[in-house]
Chain A
Amino acid sequence: MLKTTVVVIGGGATGVGILRDLSMRGVDAILVERDDLGYWTSSRFHGLLHSGGRYAVKDKEAAKECIQENTILRKIGRHCVEATESIFVRAPEDSEEFEQEWVKSCAECGISAVPISMDEAFKLEPNLSRKLLSAYRCPGAAVDGFRLLWQTVASANKYGGKAMTYKEVIGIETENGTVVGVKIRDRWTGAEEKISCDFVISASGSFAGEVAHLAGLSVNVKPSKGTLIAFNHRICNRVVHRLHKSSDADIFVPHGSITILGTSSIDSAPDDTSTETAEVMAMMEIGKITFENIYDYRILRVFAGTRPLYSADPNAKGRSASRGFVALDHAHDGINHFMSVCGGKFTTYRLMAEKVCDIVCEQLGVNAKCHTAEENLVDDPSPDLISRAKAVFPSYGAELASSRLGNEKLERVIKRIETQPEMKELVCECENVTLAEIEEVASEPTSHTVSDLRRRTRLGMGTCQGTFCAYRSVGAVNKENMPWAKDSVYLFKEFLETRWKGIRPVLWGNMLRDIELTRAIYDAALNLSGVEEIK
């Protein structure tokens, strides 16, 4: 039986932030996640590190927190953040009074908003609609959700914190009104085990109600689904916001090699990740106001996730519900040492963790202060390591791989290529992922599917959406005899189905031509639909 002080339920941004914070304060902690890290809400978003500008008018407190955390994350999470800056643009449809109020509010919140001429704006972002009226430069940025989560866990690992994926919590055990442990089930083996602990923190986002239910409690989360559209290339190099009262489809984020437009806001079930074509069409029409040639850009896929909006008022809905977070101490409901954390924003994940851990530590009698803002998540690669990487990686590969992998993993990958030069061959040509990287990540105990490799490397997330890297990666993990890679048919289907899920609602134009090629390879040539999985 495992034993720890705190069990954190949920491997999203909030959970990993809490795991790292506790570990750095010297509190024993284990995080359990039902799926892969960042499988749900923490990757199903824009990949936007807010400047706070979006909240400046409506919620100054949130805006101030955003700019403060933005500044911290640019430093401690520099390998996950691309400091693109952001531009707020006002369209003819948007109110001029709001612009004035916004400028005033940004100043009050300490958010730099530098007005620029439209000529300057078009020079910086040539694809912006020529109908736009005014523009401001703000310190927004792009952030990679998957990477931030894994690097936060890597940082927690250094202090003894552990994260376990594919472990579903099936029971919360109490004795005399106090939590004594949780019961978990391995999603792959079905094996059940108990972790005894002194404290449980549920950071399960939209699923907070379901987790609380395991202890016989209720938590009122209103999941609100947002759909995002991924375009095939960077149509802008800065985050572009509409300068108006926050609304649907008004933010574009250049995210790695792609651009993400979002989002919608629809009341939904916690696990709803579906998208209707009509939703996409509505978002495109709004997006057209910012980028007038939007229909020329190829949509790669769509994805959706739910915001875990908490409301004490059961009737509050969508964007009007609070975006702030709450830490519910269930002692008030009769169970001690059990807390649910709901709501919040990705940008402020560190601050939320700090506040939660302050409360938890007080209850546990721990005096250690929070140090999470002071230490980088992962070490910077040394100049020597960078030059070794440059020597072995294909062009454009060294920098991308070093921010993806972090120092230690990068060194192991470089060694693989140094000893076997053919390991530098690209498995994923669209996102520049080498065979060495695939084999390194595949050998980690947290990998169980090709989608797991995808979330850690960006394999299959580019133009061809898995058409060429699917058979290459399945071949690679088969050859390495990974214990999880016995059933090739399952590996293919699992990986390709997740790709196709995001493509089906936008199956037109170039993507339709692309997917016909995929179908020719996997359905016609390999007859994947005609063979059974082993399991």
Chain B
Amino acid sequence: MAINKQHAIDPDKCTACTICITACPVTAATRKFRGPKMTGPALTRLRKLVSDDDPMLDYCSNCKTCDLVCPSGVPISTLNMIAKNEYYKTHPRKSKADDMLAHSEKMGKLITALPLGSTFANLGMSVGKSFGVMGAMGIAQDAKMPSYASESFISKFKKIKQTPYPRKVVFFSGCYINYNQPEVGTDLVKVYQKNKIEVAIDENFVCCGSPMVSGGYIDDARVNASKNTALLKSWVDRGYDIVTACTSCGLMLKQEYQELFDFEGMAEYAAHMYDSIEYLAKLHDDGQFDTDFANDNTKYIYHAPCHLKVQAIGRPSMELLPMIPGIDIEEADVGCCGISGSYGFKADKHEIAMKVGSKLFNRIKNSHAKLGVCECGTCRLQMENGSGVKAIHPLTVLRQAYGL
């Protein structure tokens, strides 16, 4: 039952302390954005009074650094996203790319359904770029776009033969793993099987809605939230825990749904939701994490995605990966990479995104690490794009260390 959540998302908790402005990576990168306090709680009050052109709304990347630093618990970025959603009901969109980037699942489905679809899509993107098609669409010419996999994760998963175990999780793969990097999903199954966990998937899951919310399509996200909530709740009712290997999906399902919507069962299933590495760290706390690792003498640099930080679950990857013998891993700890899901792919945001990420790029380059490590797919893409150093999911590091 969707009821009014207006009073839950009101601007009253903000004390105008301005900490969010000092922490906002976008505000630091461009004067076009006047910061989270202004765009969020301050203007939320005025938007109830007057309407106006509001070009600033588009500049919030929904990285949620403001929410993380806010001492008053104001869902600042969510106020921004709600305002953006309302705004585009009455104002034309600046970029044609918004729709495509917000509904990436549609694109993924289309491409993987066609024989050789991914080959043509990937080719099309590079050809399209050279002819300026992407620019006309509102996609940044020099942004490195995610490429599509020839076989989806779901299709690959069905071919995997698992050993049944009493400990069971349902894996919400999300669009990026399903269509772009299915190997992260298969790594999860291998690592979890090694830890005596049986992994299920649900083909009825739909896109978590994170790109829709960031793009100002909350009404579309609501439809998806309704479907996913019912499904996730039923898995939890059957004794399953839920894991994600994409921190944006995880944040959306666990926290943002509750900030934005009011569907039955959200809080119940959220209590059983884990990031894939967090779940393993929990096993470790219970003495059940398999540490039968081979040596890995690689030098890694780990970047914690903003959407992981705001979940307040610490740095589970920095707890587990250092257990691998021989490993050299350090945390970058220099803030946002700049990409924020689809933000950095947009023509008018690409430069900002690269500027935001510049500290991280330099940090990676100067670390002389061989590989970057990060839970978030688009962060990994941005790390590679900005530093030239390939980045992988921590599950992949674990899978290799297990010799699988």
| Contact indicator A396/B46 (Cβ below 8 Å) | yes
Question: How many A-B pairs with Cβ below 8 Å?
Answer: 90
Name the one of A296, A396, A430 contacting B47, with C-beta atoms under 8 angstroms: A396
Closest to B10 in A: A233
Residue in B15, B37, B45 whose beta carbon sits within 8 Å of that of A257 in the complex: B45
CB contact list, A408-431 vs B, under 8 A = 426, 429-430
- B60 CB to nearest chain A CB (Å): 13
In order of increasing CB-CB distance, the 8 nearest A-B pairs are: A298-B12, A464-B16, A514-B15, A234-B48, A126-B4, A257-B45, A396-B52, A395-B54
Q: Does A264 have its Cβ within 8 Å of any Cβ on chain B? A: no
**Quick check: is B50 within 8 A (CB to CB) of the other chain?**
yes
* A108 close to B (CB within 8 Å): no
User: Is A284 part of the contact surface with B, judged by Cβ < 8 Å?
Assistant: no
Q: Pick the residue among B4, B48, B50 that contacts A233 (CB under 8 A).
A: B48
Residues of B within 8 A of A399 (CB): 50, 52
Contact A513 B7 (CB under 8 A): no
- Complex Cα–Cα for A53 and B54 (A): 38
A468 cross-chain contacts in B, Cβ below 8 A? 16, 18
- Chain B nearest CB from A363 CB (Å) reads 45
Add 14 more A-B contacts to A127-B6, A514-B15 (CB < 8 A): A127-B4, A232-B11, A233-B45, A258-B45, A296-B7, A297-B10, A297-B12, A394-B34, A399-B52, A400-B49, A429-B42, A463-B15, A463-B45, A464-B15
Binding site for A on B (CB under 8 A): 4, 6-7, 10-18, 34, 37-38, 41-50, 52-56, 72
Instruction: Please name the residue on chain A nearest to B44 by beta carbon.
Output: A233
User: Roughly how many angstroms separate A390 CA and B51 CA in the complex, as a whole number?
Assistant: 12
Does A237 lie at the interface of the complex (its beta carbon under 8 Å from any beta carbon of B)? yes
Minimum CB distance partner of A255 in chain B: B49
Instruction: Select which of B15, B49, B56 is within 8 A of A234 by beta carbon.
Output: B49
Counting CB contacts under 8 A, is A287 at the interface? no
Interface of A is mostly: loop
A277 interfacial contact with B, CB 8 Å: no
Please tell me if A347 contacts chain B, counting CB pairs below 8 Å.
Answer: no
Provide the residues of chain B in CB contact with A258, threshold 8 Å: 45
B49 near A395 (CB under 8 angstroms)? no
Minimum Cβ distance to chain A for residue B229 (Å)? 22
- Let me know if B52 and A398 touch, CB within 8 A: yes
Q: Which residues of A contact B53 (CB under 8 A)?
A: 390, 395
Q: Which of B7, B11, B13, B56 has the most CB of A within 10 A?
A: B7
Which of A126, A233, A258, A399: most chain B CB closer than 10 A? A233
CB distance from B90 to the nearest CB of A (A): 14
Is residue A246 within 8 Å, beta carbon to beta carbon, of the partner chain? Answer: no
- Most chain B CB neighbours (cut-off 10 Å) among A234, A395, A399, A429: A395
Q: Which A residues lie within 8 Å of B56 (CB)?
A: 395
Contact of B12 among A127, A233, A430 (CB under 8 A): A233
Contact A429 B16 (CB under 8 A): yes
List of A residues within 8 angstroms of B42 by Cβ: 429-430, 462-463
- Asked if A293 CB lies within 8 Å of chain B CBs, one says yes
Q: Are B45 and A234 in contact (CB under 8 A)?
A: yes
Contacts of B4 in A (CB 8 A): 126-127
Closest to A431 in B: B46
A243-256 interface bits toward B, Cβ cutoff 8 Å, 1 = contact, 0 = none: 00000000000101
A510 to B48, Cβ gap below 8 A?
no
Q: Which residue of B lies closest to A393 (CB)?
A: B52
- Among A127, A237, A296, A463, point to the contact of B11 (Cβ < 8 A): A463
Tell me the minimal C-beta distance from B108 to chain A in angstroms.
35
A467-B42 Cα distance, complex, nearest whole Å: 14
Task: Mark interface residues in A102-139 (1 if CB within 8 Å of B CB, else 0).
Answer: 00000000000000000000000011000000000000
Q: Are A400 and B7 in contact (CB under 8 A)?
A: no
Set A396, A429, A464, A517: member contacting B50, Cβ < 8 A: A396
Interface mask (A457-484 → B, CB under 8 Å = 1, otherwise 0): 0000011100110000000000000000
Q: Is A432 an interface residue (CB 8 A)?
A: yes
Q: Could you pull out 17 A-B pairs where Cβ atoms are within 8 angstroms? A: A127-B4, A127-B6, A233-B10, A233-B44, A237-B48, A293-B7, A296-B7, A296-B10, A298-B12, A395-B43, A395-B52, A400-B46, A430-B45, A432-B46, A463-B11, A468-B18, A514-B15
Q: Which residue of A lies closest to B11 (CB)?
A: A233
B18 surroundings in chain A (CB, below 8 A): 468
Residues of chain B lying within 8 A (CB to CB) of residue A297: 7, 10, 12
Cα distance A297–B7 when bound, in Å? 8
Complex alpha-carbon distance, A257 and B41, angstroms: 12
CB B45 to nearest CB in A, in angstroms, measures 4
Whether A232 and B45, one on each chain, are in contact in the complex, defined by CB atoms closer than 8 angstroms, is: yes
Q: Which of A298, A396, A432, A513 contacts B54 (CB 8 A)?
A: A396
Neighbour of B16 across the interface among A233, A234, A467, CB < 8 A: A467
Checking B16, B17, B49, B55 against A430 with a beta-carbon cut-off of 8 angstroms, the contacting residue is B16
- CB proximity of A170 to chain B, nearest CB, Å: 43
Give Cα A394 to B44, complex, Å: 15
Chain A 223-235, CB-CB to B under 8 Å as 1, else 0, gives 0000000001110
- Shortest B359–chain A CB gap in Å is 27
Residues of B within 8 A of A517 (CB): 15-17
